[in-house]
Amino acid sequence: MNYEFFEKPPDFPSARRILLLSADILLKNEPQEAVMDTPGSDYPKYVRKHAKRSPLARDCARAFLVGGTICAAAEGLLAAYRALGASEEDAGLLVSVTLIVLTALCTGIGVFDRLARFAGAGTLVPITGFANAVASCAVDAKSAGWILGVGAKIFAVAGPVIVYGTAAGVAWGILYRLIRVFQ
């Protein structure tokens, strides 16, 4: 097989094997060898040496501050909806809908991605993270059209969550019912 389209690989032996394996996969050939499982491979050592260290304390502080701000904003919305006369249950529903709409809007205009790059896991407060996952799939697939793009891809990430969440709910419901019958 001809691999002339690659530039000169880095000077350590594992890089060439990685490039060849990648080319085999991209060209849909069977890989000649498994790079990561090769005994004596220099790749893990290379990665440890060249990988950028994550500033853990800074990342945790950012995630805490942004996630806390999102949760505090949700509590503020809850208090505002209750002050406007909504019941406790309705106010909670309105907060959820508001967070979903705001997250989808921010994802669509690119603000949420910048915030997520800054805050990391802090933006994964469950409802905003889920809304971003659904909205970002729709935004990415928009160029393919409304039916085959957005319609087909909108639940690419959320679909399995919904399916397995529903299946888990059914399984736990059956288990709960069996436990109640035999008590």
Contact (Cβ atoms closer than 8 angstroms) between residue 130 and residue 76: no
82-111: pLDDT as tens digits:
999 999 999 999 999 999 999 989 998 989
* pLDDT score for 76: 97
159-180: pLDDT as tens digits:
887 888 899 999 999 999 999 9
* pLDDT score for 81: 97
SS3 content of the chain, % helix, strand, coil (to 5): 75, 0, 25
pLDDT band at 10; cut points 50, 70, 90: very low
Does this model's pTM top 0.95? My answer is: no
- The backbone torsions φ and ψ at residue 163, rounded to the nearest 5 degrees and listed phi first, read -60, -50
* pLDDT score for 21: 57
CA nearest to 119, candidates 50, 61, 37, 49 = 61
